Structure formats: structure tokens, C-alpha cells
Amino acid sequence: MIKAIKDYFSFSKKEFNGILILCFITLLVILFPLIYPYFQTEEKYDFKAFEKEIAAFEKSSKPLEYHYENNYADHSKDVIATNVKYFNFDPNDLPISDWQKLGLTDKQIKVIKNYESKGGKFYSKEDLKKIYSIKPPLYAKLEPFISINESSNKKGSLKSYSNQYKSNESKFVKRIPSIIELNTADSTSLDLLKGIGPAFATRILKYRDRLGGFNNINQLKEVYGIDSAKFLEIKYQVNVDGSLVRKINVNTTTFDELKKQPYLSYKQMNAIIQYRKQHGSYNSIADLKKIPILNEETLHKIEPYLIF
């Protein structure tokens, strides 16, 4: 018995060596976290170079500010000439030679003349200050001598207002056409509608083609991008003639012809064709109600587009 137990717990030399190696590895795993910090060198960061860069940046920022101020001062000197002759003047249509006498540079005069060539007028002294080439120091020198002819400005103002009104009126008349019938309208007439541009006009025409025509105005809400607000904006500018709707003969139509109809899914189209094959021709919308996959809402939508 003792011999049997001894033989059971005894190890061969090879097994004993394996146990020793396993114990050694286990010991290394346990001791590794304790030993590793002694072999790890702490990484040191040198901030000297970074500090030098900061110091150089701070040093360079001060001359920059000084340089800007000097530039501004020099620019002001360039704008205001020393040998000028001030006199009372009306800036409207003032000759170039008079502007030069007042000390303006060729560049500043060019800006003013460009403003006038585009219909610009000076109605008050402050209007001259709004010209971007006229800097505050120069305007301060000119302001006491500005004398605008009020009577000519009133005429010019009224004339300008009249022209603007006529222009806006013509645009308004062009923009608001008579009521447009949706089933006969083309992209040009739709584009004239207030709130409808080329993109919406194209979408409306494409959806009308899929439907076979609009049966009622509310179908415009089904066009992509036309929400309730957009619909309210255009609903009073259009009407619909339901008699122009293109109808489908449900007893002769094919699956490909039904594919355009946006109110039907592929399964519903296939069901209509298959039911007709099995039970014969449809006599009325009531026969379509016998197809379980067609609900009342769908039948109500497609009824105006069907003939039997």
C-alpha cells in the first residue's frame, strides 16, 4: 500500500525538471511588477526651447503693434495733402479738378466717380463719409465746406424713387401672372409663380407625369419639398382641371404601365394583375375592394385615375 502511494506521487526526473521551470516562471510573473520600476528610466522633458519660442513671440508682437500704428499715421498723411484750397462745394458731379484742389488722390476720386456712375447720389454731408476711401481725418477737413443743393437733391430723390417704383412695379406685374392650370402648365409658366422657382417647377412637372395629372390642388403637398407653408403660398395662384387627368384602363393595363402610379406599391400592382387573371375583368371600384392588400385610402386615391 505504501509502495503504491509512493509510486503514485513520485516524479520522473523529466517531470521534476518541468515542475521547477514552471515554478520559476510563476515566480518571475509575480515579481515582475515589483522589479520593473527599478529598470524604468523616468522620461525628462526640456521646456527651455519652448520657453525661448514664447519669449520670441512676445518680443515680436510689440513691434508689430507699433508698426501698424505707424502705417496708419503714414496713410493718414498720404490722404490729406498739405497744399489744398478749401472752398464750398457740392460733392454731386463735382469735376475731378475740384476734387484734386481739395486734396484728394486719384484713387479716392476714382472711387467717388465709380459711385456716381452707378447712380449714387450724396443727399447729406454724412453720405460722403460713407465712401470707403474717405477716411475720418479727411472728412473732418472737408465737412465744413460741404454744401449740398437741396432742391436738386429732392428732384433727384423723387426721380430715383419714381424709377425704382416703376422698376419694382414691372417686376411685380411680371412675377404675378393670372391663375395657372396645373395640368396644362409648362415649366416657364410655373416658374413665374410666387414661391416657385425652376427646381420646384421641375419637380411638379415630374410628379404630374407620374400621376397622370393632378385631380385636386392638395396633391401638390405630395411633391417633394412643398410643405404646408409653401403650399399656402402657391395654392391661390393655381387651379386644377380634373377632366384632364390621364386614366388607366384597369382591365387592359400591364404591370409596366402601372409602375408609374405613385399610390401603388409593387405588391399591390401585382395583386391587381393576378386577381384579374383569376377572376376576369373588373366592373367597378367595388371589385378592387375584394383584393385584401388594397385598403380604402389607396382605393380612394387611385379611383380618379381608373376606368373599367
Annotated domain spans of the chain:
96-172, 180-244, 248-307
CA–CA gap between residue 284 and residue 139 (Å, rounded):
85
Least confident range of 129-133, 142-146, 211-215, 266-270:
129-133
What pTM does this model have? 0.43
- pLDDT at residue 239 in the model: 92
Closest CA to 89 of 145, 151, 156, 17: 145
- pLDDT at residue 8 in the model: 59
Given a cut of 50, is residue 269 above it in pLDDT?
yes
The domain made up of 180-244 is a member of CATH 2.40.50.140: no
Given a cut of 90, is residue 222 above it in pLDDT?
yes
Helices (H), the chain: 2-9, 13-39, 48-79, 96-101, 106-117, 125-129, 136-142, 150-175, 187-191, 198-211, 228-234, 255-258, 266-279, 285-288, 296-302
Residue 63: pLDDT band (50, 70, 90) is very low
